[in-house]
């Protein structure tokens, strides 16, 4: 067909589309809107999944929390050293961290206290702190903040420092020593890193305690046994493994996906109404035209070919418009509205950028679900009309 392309036929098809402009334009709009919606949702889901996976990779293998009366409470740091004699444990790090609620913007910042002289317990922190002189940070009692934090503070007139309020009601003025950029956006955007001493002061914690303890093991297969040994020794401690977190993230995400599955079915429903309308018959005017074309010497092949061009142009056009506007909407505009629906699980977290991920198989799937189906729905009734006697159709 390509090497024997009849451009006059193509031209006729384009004119024919333009002749029924309002009807075709309406179908074009609906089709591109549907494709836009589905593509956007799938792109957002993909981006978030990507983001989650990269975050999960940086999580500690085992996190130990202490619970008293069902509430999480601080862990004595002495326990961290004691744990080292359990076989299979490579490293134990007590962490000092927490959330700081920033009222004017209604968001939580993650505040992490670090010890400049220690090795960092997570690869993210190592990466983040590599670019800054941590010892200087400790001496000056200042902090490094994520881009999201920086933005929110600046919006509230804190351009180079921030006044934390301690539980005792005192003000703690901390200058901003730097801002970090990271592609680990989901985790680092709302992050504030400062010296441990400052963190203790801001949270009003005793310096002999830690928020929790993270454990690194020699062999990931031993995680379950090591967790057993730890909880046997300290019955008031609860262990969360990387896998536990993955499962809970996945659950929330799947729940959201269920919501979008229903959106999906609404779209599919709308699409099939168009298809149904198309296959259920041609207007008498369209039928007459087919009859006339046959009568003046077009074969059914010519007619079907012409209809193929028409529907191909329309549906491929709608597809391309839908996909490209979805790309623009999701990655350039960062998916306003839809994104919020998806991001519900990361409550109160400052915004982060959706990472770009072009999923070719998704695009192909959407293509197959729209273009060929639309073409078939157009061709079948035209082919039927064109195989009748011209005399019948023209009457």
Partner 1 sequence: MIALKDVCKSFMQGDESVFALNQISLHVKRGECVVLKGSSGSGKSTLLSLIAGLAQPNSGEVRVDGREISKLPERFSAKLRRQKIGFIFQKFHLIPHLTALENVITPLIPENLSLSLLDEKAKTSMEQCGIAHKASMRVNRLSGGEQQRVAIARALVNQPLLILADEPTANLDENLSRELIAQFEKLKDKGITQLIATHDPLFFELGFVDRIIEIKNGELV
Min dist CB 379 to partner 1, Å, is: 16
Residue with smaller CB distance to partner 1, 7 or 117: 7
* Enclosing H/E stretch for 98: strand 89-102
Residue with smaller CB distance to partner 1, 19 or 173: 19
Q: What is the DSSP letter of 211?
A: S
Residue with smaller CB distance to partner 1, 12 or 367: 12
Residue with smaller CB distance to partner 1, 8 or 68: 8
Using a 10 angstrom Cβ sphere, with 0-12 exposed, 13-18 middle and 19 or more buried, the burial of residue 88 is middle
Interacting residues with partner 1 (CB under 8 A): 4, 6, 8-9, 12, 15, 19, 285, 288-289, 291-302, 387, 389-392, 394
Residue with smaller CB distance to partner 1, 264 or 383: 383
Min dist CB 295 to partner 1, Å, is: 5
Min dist CB 384 to partner 1, Å, is: 14
Min dist CB 283 to partner 1, Å, is: 13
**DSSP 3-state of 281:** coil
Structural contact between residues 143 and 193, judged by C-beta atoms closer than 8 angstroms: yes
How far is residue 363's CA from residue 6's CA, in Å, rounded to a whole number?
29
CA dihedral 148, 336, 50, 259 (to 10 degrees): 130
How far is residue 50's CA from residue 45's CA, in Å, rounded to a whole number?
9
Residue with smaller CB distance to partner 1, 115 or 302: 302
Min dist CB 284 to partner 1, Å, is: 12
Min dist CB 15 to partner 1, Å, is: 7
Largest CA distance in the chain: 97
Among positive and negative, which fits the CA dihedral 34, 287, 7, 22? negative
């Amino acid at each position: 067909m390509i090497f024997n392309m009849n451009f006059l036929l193509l031209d006729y098809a384009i004119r024919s589309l333009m002749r029924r402009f309002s009807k075709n334009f309406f179908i074009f709009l609906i089709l591109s809107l549907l494709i836009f919606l589905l593509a956007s949702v799938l792109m957002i889901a993909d981006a978030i999944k990507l983001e989650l996976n990269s975050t999960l990779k940086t999580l500690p293998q085992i996190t130990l929390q202490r619970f008293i009366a069902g509430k999480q409470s601080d862990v004595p740091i002495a326990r961290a050293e004691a744990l080292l004699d359990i076989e299979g444990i490579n490293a134990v790090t007590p962490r000092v961290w927490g959330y700081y609620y920033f009222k004017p913007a209604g968001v939580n910042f993650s505040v992490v206290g670090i010890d400049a002289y220690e090795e960092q317990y997570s690869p993210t922190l190592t990466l983040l702190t590599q670019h800054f002189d941590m010892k200087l940070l400790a001496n000056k009692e200042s902090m490094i903040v994520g881009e999201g934090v920086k933005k929110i503070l600046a919006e509230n007139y804190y351009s180079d420092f921030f006044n934390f309020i301690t539980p005792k009601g005192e003000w703690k003025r901390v200058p901003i020593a730097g801002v970090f950029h990271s592609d680990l956006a989901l985790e680092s955007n709302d992050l504030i890193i400062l010296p441990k001493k400052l963190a203790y002061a801001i949270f009003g914690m005793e310096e002999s305690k830690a928020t929790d303890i993270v454990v690194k093991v020699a062999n990931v297969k031993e995680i379950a046994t090591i967790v057993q040994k730890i909880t046997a020794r300290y019955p008031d401690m609860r262990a969360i493994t990387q896998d536990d977190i993955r499962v809970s993230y996945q659950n929330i995400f799947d729940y959201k996906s269920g919501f979008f599955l229903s959106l999906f079915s609404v779209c599919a429903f709308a699409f099939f109404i168009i298809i149904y309308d198309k296959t259920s018959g041609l207007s008498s005017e369209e039928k007459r035209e087919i009859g006339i074309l046959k009568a003046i010497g077009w074969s059914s092949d010519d007619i079907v070919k012409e209809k193929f061009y028409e529907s191909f142009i329309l549906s491929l056009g709608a597809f391309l418009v839908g996909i490209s506007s979805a790309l623009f909407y999701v990655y350039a505009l960062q998916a306003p509205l839809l994104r919020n629906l998806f991001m519900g699980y990361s409550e109160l977290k400052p915004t982060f950028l959706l990472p770009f991920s072009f999923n070719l198989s998704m695009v192909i799937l959407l293509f197959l679900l729209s273009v060929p189906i639309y073409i078939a729905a157009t061709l079948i009734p035209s082919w039927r009309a064109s195989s009748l006697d011209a005399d019948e159709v023209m009457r």
